[in-house]
Amino acid sequence: MARPDKAAAVTDVRERISGASATMLTEYRGLTVDQLAQLRAELRKSGAEYRVVKNTLTKIAVRDAGFDVPDELLTGPTAVAFCGDDPVAAAKALRAFARTHPALVVKGGILEGRFIDAGEAGRLADLASREELLSQVAGIMQAIIAQPARLALASLTKMARLMAALQSKRIAAGEADAPPSAEAQDTPDAAGAAAAVDQTPEPDSAEAVAATQAAADAGVNATPGETGPEGRAEDIGPTTE
């Protein structure tokens, strides 16, 4: 490779390493071209870019970026995964692909300005991804929004149960009458009793009672023949001795 081209390639790798949230170094010996294309597609879904880079260029780019990576990690055919905003998603994608394609080996990488070995890279895949965290936060927010409605419903239910218990206690203590059952309200006897109450004549008024009493008194004090055609006593003339 000509010197200017080599310098440009090193600059490109260095900028990608510096701009990535994490950089994963992998060995792809034994993977076919189609399998590499499939791996690139899977990593692209997680926001990562997968590129095959010569070890000599990677060593210079890593050094120029200010990172320290053991030389033994940059031996054999090496491909670099430049992670986007979510390094956990890229680590998960690499591990999932390696399970079905054992030829892919994650050797280590750079995360948050420091070198991580293969074990730390594997543990990174065990963490929750950005998408999973956002989903969890959304679930928490929905629960917080729905909580007032659940509390209000629970308060109404609790109040109704409390009032029912208080009414039952008063009935048991004789302080209140038990409500009539639906069967008792619909029986013919109850209907007949209601009709009998409606047909009971109203008691006489005070004026009617007084008039009846006056007529009775007049009938007792008067003698036969002493009442006129209108029912009043006639005048009696003087008697002769």
Predicted local distance difference test score (pLDDT) of residue 235: 43
Predicted local distance difference test score (pLDDT) of residue 225: 45
The reported pTM is: 0.53
| 32 compared with 4, residue with greater pLDDT | 32
Cβ-contact 82, 127 below 8 angstroms:
no
Summarised one tens digit per residue, pLDDT across range 82-97 is 999 889 999 999 999 9
Q: Taking the mean position of all CA atoms in its chain, how far away is CA 136? A: 13
Spatial neighbors of 43 by CB under 8 A, at least 6 apart, are: 49, 50, 81, 90, 93, 94
**Is the sign of the CA dihedral 66, 69, 75, 80 positive or negative?**
negative
For residue 132, what are the CA distances in angstroms to 141, 143, 151, 180? Answer: 14, 17, 28, 59
Residue indicated by tokens 């310098």 = 7
Summarised one tens digit per residue, pLDDT across range 172-197 is 776 656 555 554 455 445 444 444 44
Predicted local distance difference test score (pLDDT) of residue 78: 92
Dihedral (C-alpha) 193, 199, 205, 208: value to the nearest 10 degrees?
-130
Percent of the chain scoring above 90 in pLDDT: 29
Predicted local distance difference test score (pLDDT) of residue 238: 46
| 238 compared with 77, residue with greater pLDDT | 77
